[in-house]
Amino acid sequence: MRLRCAVLDDFQNVATEVADWSPLADDVEVVQFTTHFPGEDGLAEALADFDIVVTLRERVPFPGSLLARLPRLKLLIASGMRNTVIDYAAAEAHGVTVCGTASSSTPPVELTWALLLGLARGLVQESNALRSGGPWQHTVGADLHGRRLGVLGLGKIGSRVAQVGLAFGMHVSAWSQNLTKEYADEVGVHLAPSKEALLADSDFVSVHLALSDRTRGLVGPAEIALLKPTAYLINTSRAAIVDQDALLDALHEGRIAGAGVDVFDTEPLPAGHPMRTAPRLLATPHLGYVSQANYATYYGHAVEDIQAYLAGSPVRRLP
Catalytic residue ranges: 238, 267, 286
Quick one: 293 exposed, middle or buried, by C-beta within 10 A (0-12, 13-18, 19+)?
Answer: exposed
- Cα separation, 21 vs 23, whole angstroms: 6
- Cα separation, 216 vs 234, whole angstroms: 16
Residue among 170, 227, 165 at smallest CA distance from 195: 227
78 phi/psi in degrees, rounded to 5 = -115, 135
- Cα separation, 152 vs 158, whole angstroms: 7
> Across the chain, how many H-helices and E-strands are there?
11, 12
- Cα separation, 1 vs 187, whole angstroms: 54
Pairing of strands 3-7, 204-207: unpaired
- Cα separation, 102 vs 118, whole angstroms: 29
